[in-house]
Each structure stands twice: as structure tokens, then as C-alpha cells.
Structure 1
Amino acid sequence: MLLNEASNEDDESDCYHCLGVIKYNLGQYDEAIEFYQKSLDIKEKTLPPNHPSLAASYNNIGMVYDEMGEYLKALSSYERSLEIQKIALPPNHPDLAGSYNNIGLVYYNMGEYLKALSSYERSLEIQKIALPPNHPDLATSYNNIGLVYDKMGEYSKALSSYERSLEIRKIALPPNHPGLAQSYNNIGMVHDKMGEYSKALSSYERSLEIQKIALPPNHPDLASSYNNIGMLYYNMGEYTKALSSHERSLEIKKIALPPNHPLLASSYGNIGNVYDKMGEYSKALSSYERSLEIKKIALPPNHPDLATFYNNIGLVYYNMDEYSKALSYYKKAQGIFQKSLPPNHPHIALVKRNIDNVKKKK
């Protein structure tokens, strides 16, 4: 149905809603907001003030703002949706769990982990009452709670949550579902952070096996798995294996991503780190410089990540005994760090030490 064919305001509202969905799926977020808001405006005129359809509209608007990174606006919309749902729905309706989950996600993105945890746990409480015990949504909640504990550095709690999520997914999902790969990957990341490298490697490889079956051969998630395995081998000091994994990750990213995507820069940076450890300084330099080229396009000029690369390039020149070049890059790093970080940040002290070291050599 076209807008000019809408026979009444309900039809018109539905049309605006559908246009909002289309624009959202196309990534055209400003236009999606505009259409969702028009749909909501009509609903507010024609429906009772606490109708569930209003909650759905606020939820949709919140989702768009979340994708745009406008977290305070997303939070406001999600909370308005939840207020209506609390009045319109039974206290343990699954839609309430969905709202608490969405609010938790916004808090997670904002780095407010205690608030995220509280929202995710409220969502889980409702799901335990409203859903069968092995419903996939429960697995998602346990996974989300694990992500928060992971960010908070509470790795044993994160591991417990991820493993509970995996148990449910093994029952609820087909054996090679991407959700299982996600669980194995997250478990691997926690073991990695805990220094349990053999357990981490086993989990990462299980994740990769599933992804190879479940996903197209150049899917970005495969690149992410190879990257994680590469980082693990790097931490284990197995640099040849690390290099092989990072190069495989880069190959996939070159096919799957735009040419100046920040994840390409990360791969070049990781490859540079490996070459540096192997003492292959000219190759390290080449990788760091390629990474820096992309970062300069993708990031604002005083972003701390740029300074990190200038510092890394300085370290390579220092190891090559090219002290003037090393000093030049250290000073570039220092200038950005001083503009972008608080004065007592350890990165500022680190680059100051590097400058002092190179001055002693000159």
C-alpha cells in the first residue's frame, strides 16, 4: 500500500512504520527516525496513551538511535517504551525482557557496566518465568551478562555465564549454528585473558570450525577468529604461527571490507607487532606505515590510536639505530597524547621515557 492510498490514519501510521523499517535496514538512520516518528505521532493521536503499539514505536526509535551511537536518546526511547509496557502488559511478558535487554545494551555501549548488568539480570529473571528453560533468548542473556563481567575484569563470572549460554545453545540450536561459534569465541577470549592459552586455543579453533561450515568463506567473523588465534600465538611467543593467522585474517578483510576500514589497520598493526618481535624491522615498519595510512583516513587527527602507531614506528627506528627518525616519531606521538589524554596518563610517561632513551643515544 502506498501512502496516498492509505484509507485511514491507522493505515498511514503502518505505512510510515514500514518505510522506517526499510530505511533502518538500509542503514539510512536519519530517515528511519523521521518515518518512525511520523508513525508514532499518528498513533499518539489515535490510540490510548499506554497502548502496546506506542511502546513498539518507542522501541524502534531507540534501536535506530543505538545504531547511530546516540546512546542517551536511545536510552530515553527505550525507557519510555518500558514505562508503557509495564502498564499495558503482564509483569513477566517477554516484551518487558526485550526492553530490559535493550536498555542493558545501551548502558554496555556507554561503558556503564553495573547498570548494564542490572538491566540484563532483570531481563533474564523475566525470561526464566516466561520462556522454556532452553529457549535461545536465555542463552543470549547469559552471553550478554558474560560480556559485562568480561569488561569488568571478573573473568571467572564471565566464564560461568558464557558456559551457561553455550549449554543452552547446544540444546536449542543446530550443531553448526553461528551462535555456538560466538559462545566458543567468547569462552576462548576469557581463557586468553586469564593466561590459559591452551584452553583459549581449543575454544578459538572450535569456533573457527563452526564458522567455516556456517558462514561464507570471506565472512568478517572468520577474519575475527583468525585474528584472535593470531593474538594468542603472539602472546605465547609463537610468532611464525601468529604471522600466518594474522595474514589469513587480513586476506579475508581485504575481500569483505572497504579498502580503508579501521579493521584493516588493526591487521596491519598486528602483523607489524609480530615482525617487530621477530626482529624483521623493515617489514614491521612497512606494516605499521600501512596501518597508519588507513588510521589517518578513518580517525580524527588527534586520536590516541594514531599516537600509538607513531610511537611503535619510533620503536622500530630505535631498534634499527636510526635515532633521528625515532625521535621524530616519538615527538609526533607525544604531541597527540598531550592533546588527547589526561596529563597523568601512563602513555604520556611511556613516550617521555622513549624520548629520553633516544636522546641518550644521539
Structure 2
Amino acid sequence: MKRPFASIKHLSQFPEEEEEILFSVGSVFRILDVNDRRATKGHWFVKMMMVENDDDLNELRSQLNQQYSRYGNFCDLGSALIGMSDYDRAERYFQMLLEYTPESKASFGLIPNFLGIIYANRGDYQKAFEFQERALKFRTQESSIQYNQHHIANTYVHLGAVYHHLGQLDLALKHLLIAVELRSPTTSLAFAYNEIAITYRDKDNNRLALDYFLKALDIDENVLKRDKYHPELATTYNNIGEICSHLCAYDDASNYWTHALEIRLKGIVATHTDLAAIYHNLGVTYLETKRFYKSIRNVHESLRNR
């Protein structure tokens, strides 16, 4: 047994009322059932099972290791902070690394790249552009090009995204397509495809937008196969539904939006605004296909979630 446990009932202040168990640090439990017994017993009843060797859990550990332990250096902590949307601490951390890390280190280029990501997530696209440009300049130095090939591709992806937010769609496409040609890492490639799709959508080229959204979805479904309620999947389904609607493929649109809605309802990350938007889209689509009852029901849900 990797995580032993023992009864400490004899040490409890309430030995007759509580069956206290001391579990090892790091013990993991799977929640089997949650029952509200407040009306009769005055408490909630949660049934759990200790998990040690579990395929789903091992897959999740592997996925988290790949996501937050892929750099093998101090950048992993900052990457995790960004993943938690803790941008203030992430910024302070990477600014500290920027100050104390010598440019002779091969990993130095990661630092301005991450700072660019932080500023982009905050909506400060000019500052994001400056740091991504700095990262690209470092990574394209002749002595380190071969070593940094996938990092260069990743930087082109984020530069393309920044150009898109700055309204420079042609430059956005140029940088994103370079990233694809350089064979970005899988997760960056999905992000690149998604950004290319959004850029084509904003250029009113819905056919190409759909092609690239589907490419992004194919990668996302494989990478996130153990997490079918991941919010990124909901976003991609929603985007594809929007494009299908523009192309008057209303049945396809409603199918993708239904998938997006299921993820938003069952996942752990959803807002009323997210739900309202999807319900609204479904309501309009059902109206176009003359399914009036479904249209009214979804519009009502949209208003209820605003």
C-alpha cells in the first residue's frame, strides 16, 4: 500500500461519536456520491473511494506533467501560475527571472515569451508584442536556431495572436502560417490552427476558417481525450457552430453548440454569460430551421442566464 492509513478513534475527543481516520499526505479519493442529509441529519454525506493505481488518474498525472513540467527549469512554476490565471504572481516571478538569468543560458528565451503571454492574457497587446519580439530575436540567433526550433515556432504562434488582436490580420496570418511550417509542438499547433481560423473568420473567409477550426478540434480531442469536459473543447465547438451557422449549415451548427452546451453544463469552468451565448445561438438556429418550440425554449434559457 503506497498511502497507508490508520484509525485514531482512541485519540479523538469524541471517541463514541466519530470514527476518525488519519490518511497519509498525498492520498487521493474518487467521489462516488454526494447526498444532502441536512434536513434529517444536519450534514452532507459524501461517499468516496481511495485511489492508488487508477488509469484515469495516471493519465491525468501524465497530462499535468506534460503541461506544467515540460521545460525542466524554473519556468515550470511560472507556467503553472499562468495556467491558474494568477497573472500578477506570474509576472513578478518572470520579471525576477528576467533580471537574474544570464542571456547566455539557452532557456533565457522562454522568459520574455512567457511575459508576452501574460500581457496578452491581460489585454496589453502592445507590451505582449514587445516581449514576443524580444523572445524571437533571442531564439533566432544563429548559434541557437537548431536547438530552439520548436521554441521559435511557439513564439511565431504568439506573435501571430498578438497581431490579430492589434487588428493586423495579414501579419497575423503570416506569422501563424510560419509557425505551422516550422512544425510547432502539438499544443501550440492546435493554438495556431485556432488563431488562423479566427483570423480567416474575421476576414470573412468562413470556408477556410472551418477547415482550420476542424484541424484544431482534431488535436484538442486527442490531447484532451481524458477530459471530455475541458473548457477549451467547449470554445472550439462553439466557434465551429458559429461558422456552420454563417454557412447556413444549421443542423451542424446546432450539433456543435449542443456539444459546447453539454461541456459548459457539466464542466467546472462556466459562467452565465457562456451559457447565455450558447442558448441564444441555439435559439436563433432553431428559428432558422422553423423548430419554434426549441427556439423559444433556448431563448428563454438565454434570458434566464444573463
TM-score after normalising by structure 1: 0.57
- Alignment match of 1:125 (pick from 99, 107, 114): 99
Distance 2:235 2:267 in 1: 12
| 1:176-215 → structure 2 map (5 Å cutoff) | 177-211=149-183
Distance 1:178-1:31 versus aligned 2 partners, 3 A rule: farther
Q: Give the alignment's Cα RMSD to 1 decimal.
A: 3.2
Distance 1:220 1:148 in 2: 17
User: Structure 2: 5+ residue runs without aligned partners?
Assistant: 1-24, 29-60, 66-72
Aligned to 2:120: 150
Aligned to 2:129: 159
State, as a whole percentage, how many aligned pairs show the same letter.
Answer: 24
Report how many residues are paired. Answer: 237
- 1:27-47 deviation digits (Å, cap 9, x = unpaired): xx9359xxxxxxxxxxxxxxx
- 1:81-118 deviation digits (Å, cap 9, x = unpaired): xxxxxxxxxxxxxxxx94xx677556545545444333
- In the TM superposition, residue 136 of structure 1 has moved relative to its aligned partner by 2.9
- 1:48-67 deviation digits (Å, cap 9, x = unpaired): xxxxxxxxxxxxxxxx9xx6
- In the TM superposition, residue 152 of structure 1 has moved relative to its aligned partner by 2.5
- 2:118 corresponds to which letter in structure 1? V
Distance 1:112-1:254 versus aligned 2 partners, 3 A rule: closer
Distance 1:175-1:109 versus aligned 2 partners, 3 A rule: closer
Instruction: Name the SS of the counterpart of 2:225 in structure 1.
Output: coil
Instruction: Name the SS of the counterpart of 2:281 in structure 1.
Output: helix
- Larger % of strand: which? 2
Distance 2:85 2:187 in 1: 25
User: Structure 1: 5+ residue runs without aligned partners?
Assistant: 1-28, 33-63, 69-96, 338-347, 349-362
- Larger % of helix: which? 1
Aligned to 1:232: 199
Aligned to 1:311: 280
- In the TM superposition, residue 320 of structure 1 has moved relative to its aligned partner by 3.8
- 1:224-256 deviation digits (Å, cap 9, x = unpaired): 322221111111110011011112222333444
User: After alignment, is 154-163 or 314-323 more displaced?
Assistant: 314-323
TM-score after normalising by structure 2: 0.66
- 1:201-228 deviation digits (Å, cap 9, x = unpaired): 01111111112xx65xxx3443332222
- In the TM superposition, residue 304 of structure 1 has moved relative to its aligned partner by 4.8
Instruction: Name the SS of the counterpart of 2:91 in structure 1.
Output: helix
Distance 2:84 2:188 in 1: 24
Structure of higher RCO (CA pairs closer than 8 Å, 6+ residues apart) = 2
Aligned to 1:243: 210
Distance 2:180 2:167 in 1: 20
- In the TM superposition, residue 291 of structure 1 has moved relative to its aligned partner by 2.8
Distance 1:296-1:191 versus aligned 2 partners, 3 A rule: same
Distance 1:147-1:252 versus aligned 2 partners, 3 A rule: closer
- Say if 2:163 and 2:171, in contact at 8 Å, map to a contact too: yes
- 2:98 corresponds to which letter in structure 1? L
Distance 1:302 1:116 in 2: 24
2:230 aligned with 1:267: no
- Say if 1:185 and 1:203, in contact at 8 Å, map to a contact too: yes
